[in-house]
Structure 1
Amino acid sequence: MREFVRLLLGRRARLRWVHLILGGALAMPYVFVGATAVGPLTGSQNVFGDFGLQLASFAVALPLAAVTSLFPLTRPLESSAVRWLCGVDAERLVYGPARARGAKARTAAWFTLHLGFGGVIAGMSLAVPPFAGVLIALPLFAWLRDSRLGLPEILDRSWALALSPVAGLACLVALAGCAAGAGALLAHLAPRLLGPAPEDRLAAAEARAADLAVRNRLARELHDSVGHALSAVTLQASAARRVLDSDPEFVREALAAIEDTTRRTVAELDTVLGVLRDGDAPGTGPAPTLAGDLDGLLRRVRASGLRVTATVTADPAALPPALSREAYRIVQEGLSNCLKHAAAPSRVTLHITATDDHLTITVENPLGTPTPCRPGGGHGLRGIADRTRLLGGTTEAGPTKHHTWRLQTHLPLKDPT
């Protein structure tokens, strides 16, 4: 019984009833316009005094409502009302104007249903409670029976008079049931008529994919630039601490390398974070490239104690900008892995070569003692694989039969942008 009462008069049912009454209120101007057309056609001077003419005016009003639903604000306003009053999840509705033909047709269908059901339920809400109240009070007050009030003659009989309170309560329950049923039906239809169409879902999926791509790119940039810098600075500081008393010149070089590394990393970090600020321009400068900073990268890595032998037969200045930028990050991450995992003292070989159609990057170092991955770490090779895949290339990484670790990447020589 409690569940039945909740379905008819619970908070959600009451809010949906309010939504229907708002639909009835919206329908009234259209009904008045329909009455101005029905009156002259039927020759009636009092359209609202005849129930049949009222229905005819209502029938004329609904097509007019469907036409005016093409107004751009109709769908946003209706979606907001459905969300708050009908209890429909916000994700299942669209809050922008209807642009496509199908979306406009669905919006017109919804608006017509809202005003149609709303007009009926609003009319019932005005007429049924007074009638039910008279039926309930009829056995108690003789003057009600004497005044007649247009009641059916059957109520003059004693058994009908005794049952009239029951009939009055039944009318109220029927009204609540009609309102609850109409509200539930509209709530069920709302996602279909006001929800996203296939093209809307496709646009939302593309937007999410674009946002995810930007997030992944930012994550790669932060990992490669900041992660490499922290690894290099840690090793430089450790090496400087060990020879602080015996080799002041090395200490000065290490401190200078730390200063240069942190300054460049702060600039790169500002550039990456600039993308996150809505409306902000990029930071202090563009991302580094092979043409712009390969020598500086090798100098900073060597200052960390890593002996790097670099062979560069490709012309970095001739590479497309996007390819040069991503290749720089791949080299940076490869050398960073050597700093963290290679055997010490370690000699690393770097080869950057170009053929007619591919740029090949090879980083090789002796195998060292396996280093446990820190919590949340180990994303460097995955980042390299992601960059390579976006450029249409291939990458391989793993131990060789010569007890070395080799990272080799092949990138097509074309501008990915």
Structure 2
Amino acid sequence: MTGRTTAGGRRGVLRRALSPLTGASTVRAGVYLVIGGVVAGAYFVLVAGFVQMFADPRTPRVAVGVLALVSAVIVATPPFLAPVRALEIAAARTFLDVDSRVLPDPAGPPTVSSRWRGAAWFALHLALGAVVTLGLLLAVPLATQLALSVFGVDRAFLVETVPAVARNPAAWAVLAVLALVALPYGTALARRLLRQSAEPLLGPDQTARIAELEAQADRLAERGRLARELHDSVGHALTVTTLQAAAAARLVGTDPEAARRSLAAIEDAGRSAMADLDHVLGLLRAGDDARPGTDRAPARSLDDLPALADDARHAGADVRLDIAPGTTTGLPRATSHEAYRVVQEALTNAVRHAPGSPVDVRVRIDDDGRTLDVVVSNPLPAAPSVPSPGGGGRGLHGMAERVRLLRGELDAGPRDGRWVVRARLPRR
């Protein structure tokens, strides 16, 4: 076993050592570097031309100086432009196999730091590209000349330039192979250097990373909010529907009128759930695919508590609703909506776990006028109810999240033989 492992390790080392000669990544990196070398050559030709003009005493200095300044501004501007940086990012991912998680697409306008880092990457690309391109232009003709000299063609070149090697024709072939082999290894080295520099030079800066983290947190919070909306609205409707369907099945033969009332309650609960579902789907459409004027059901608020209490009464609960006058006036929409959802979930739990028990719902503004106080309480059942499948306590967790997002307080648990849910939400 150890011998096999050692042999496999040796083959792996050999494979990695020869990968620059056989890997497609070297070819892609070579193309990218040659492009940089060509651009660097254009810059070199431009600089050489101005140097030659300044060296000529007959050249008008002022005119050439102005032309050189304008040309310098023109050729120095592209590395700082956002489209060029975006193009470099796409090229690095395509030709250098840099992961998109390391180099994500630029988001928002570039900062001063990102512009300078993009310019540094541009300069590094051109410098390494110039080295690789120069090596290509030297290595291929040199290897060709050495190969021809092995067969006796034009040996004068070697005799004049490398007389020691000229006396040993076998060395010509070795030099030819080394000249060609050095090129892919140099390309692989330049590729590795560029890959290591990609994230610090082309990656998002600290400001962009913080903005991305904040956007990700917003997306997660929005997903959690939509999940809570679906859980509370659809869960309440399903609870009422299940209880009313069971009641209708029991009474259809003995009390048809009561069975019809249960079926009517099921219909009302279904309509309410459809309205809530339409509201949630409207929130989902309010993203990229939203169209101005798209109709969707309004969000529930404390003004809808009487209808919610009627639904719970149809499900067999004895709901006593106590809303202090003026409580819902002037409440922020978010506060009113979240308070409604807290009451809805508390009623759903009461109907599910303590069917038939009286439920007290009290909503009022505290004496200080700053806090909305919502209390839902019901007697504890004589025997623990059987947990419904998939319950898992998500309702209480969802209520806590709703209250916490509004910087409020939630207290839920047994108190003096009653199950009490109390939410205190800032009024403003």
TM-score range, shorter chain: 0.7 to 0.9
Deviations along 1:247-282, whole A, 9 cap, x unmatched? 222222222221122112112211111222222455
| CA gap 1:95/1:62 in 2 versus in 1, 3 angstroms | farther
Equivalent pair of 1:346/1:365 in contact (CA under 8 Å): yes
Equivalent pair of 2:102/2:199 in contact (CA under 8 Å): yes
Whole-angstrom CA distance in 1 between matches of 2:341 and 2:427: 16
Instruction: Say whether 1:329 aligns with 2:341.
Output: yes
Matching residue of 2:11: none
| CA gap 1:151/1:157 in 2 versus in 1, 3 angstroms | closer
Paired residue total: 392
The equivalent position to 2:101 in structure 1, one of 91, 102, 108, is 91
Q: What TM-score do the two structures reach when normalised by structure 2?
A: 0.85
Amino acid at match of 1:152: T
Matching residue of 2:90: 80
Equivalent pair of 2:236/2:344 in contact (CA under 8 Å): yes
Matching residue of 1:284: 296
Matching residue of 1:411: 425
| CA gap 1:64/1:298 in 2 versus in 1, 3 angstroms | same
The root-mean-square deviation of aligned C-alpha atoms, in Å, is: 2.3
The equivalent position to 2:268 in structure 1, one of 236, 260, 282, is 260
Equivalent pair of 2:244/2:266 in contact (CA under 8 Å): yes
Superposed, 1:185-264 pairs within 5 Å as 185-264=193-272
Q: The residue matched to 2:253 in structure 1 has which SS?
A: coil
The equivalent position to 1:387 in structure 2, one of 402, 408, 413, is 402
Deviations along 1:156-183, whole A, 9 cap, x unmatched? 7423x33121112122222222111111
Whole-angstrom CA distance in 2 between matches of 1:357 and 1:127: 81
Matching residue of 2:80: 70
| CA gap 1:4/1:394 in 2 versus in 1, 3 angstroms | same
Equivalent pair of 2:327/2:363 in contact (CA under 8 Å): no
Amino acid at match of 1:38: V
Matching residue of 1:5: 18
Greater mean deviation of Cα atoms: 189-198 or 163-172? 163-172
Deviations along 1:64-86, whole A, 9 cap, x unmatched? 75532123311111000100111
Superposed, 1:296-335 pairs within 5 Å as 296-318=307-329, 319-335=331-347
Deviations along 1:5-51, whole A, 9 cap, x unmatched? 1034422222211211121123233233223212223459xxxxxxx
The equivalent position to 1:158 in structure 2, one of 167, 174, 190, is 167
Whole-angstrom CA distance in 2 between matches of 1:191 and 1:62: 28
Segments ≥4 residues shifted beyond 4 Å: 61-66
Matching residue of 2:60: none
Matching residue of 1:48: none
Equivalent pair of 2:412/2:421 in contact (CA under 8 Å): yes
Whole-angstrom CA distance in 2 between matches of 1:156 and 1:261: 96
Whole-angstrom CA distance in 1 between matches of 2:162 and 2:94: 46
Equivalent pair of 1:365/1:406 in contact (CA under 8 Å): yes
Whole-angstrom CA distance in 2 between matches of 1:381 and 1:374: 16
Equivalent pair of 2:317/2:357 in contact (CA under 8 Å): yes
Runs of 5+ consecutive residues of structure 2 not aligned to the other structure: 1-13, 58-70
Equivalent pair of 1:314/1:352 in contact (CA under 8 Å): no
Equivalent pair of 2:158/2:166 in contact (CA under 8 Å): no
The equivalent position to 1:29 in structure 2, one of 42, 46, 55, is 42
Matching residue of 1:275: 283
Equivalent pair of 2:327/2:364 in contact (CA under 8 Å): no
Instruction: Say whether 1:363 aligns with 2:376.
Output: yes
